[in-house]
Amino acid sequence: MSVTDPDQLVVSSVNAIVDRRTVERNVLSHLQQWLVPYLAAMERFHGLDTQSIPTPKAWRVEQQFARRPQDHLPFVAVVSSGINPGKTPAREGDGMTRAWWLVAIGAVCGARSDQMAKDLSGYYGAAIRMAMMHVPDLGGWSSGVDWNDERYDDWSPILEQVVSSVRLVFTVEVEQVVNVFEGFRDMWGKPTVPPDPYNVPTSYPDITEKQITVDKLD
Do 216 and 141 belong together in one domain? Answer: no
Domain co-membership, 129 together with 168: yes
Higher pLDDT, 28 or 14: 28
Q: Minimal CA–CA distance to 187: which of 12, 36, 41?
A: 12
Calculate mean pLDDT across residues 41-60.
96
CATH number at residue 36: 3.30.2000
pLDDT digits (tens, 9 = 90+) for 192-207: 888 888 876 656 555 5
Mind listing the pLDDT tens digit for each residue in 84-122? 999 999 998 888 899 999 999 999 998 988 899 999 999
Of 110, 112, 116, 92, nearest to 175 (Cα)? 92
| Axis crossing angle, helix 20-46 with helix 114-134, rounded to the nearest 10 | 120
Tell me, yes or no, whether 84 and 150 share the same domain.
yes
Per the structure, the complete domain to which residue 216 belongs is given by 1-15+182-218
d(CA 82, CA 12): 27
Rounded to the nearest 10°, the torsion over CA 30, 35, 37, 42 is: 150
Rounded distance between C-alpha atoms, residue 72 and residue 68, angstroms: 9
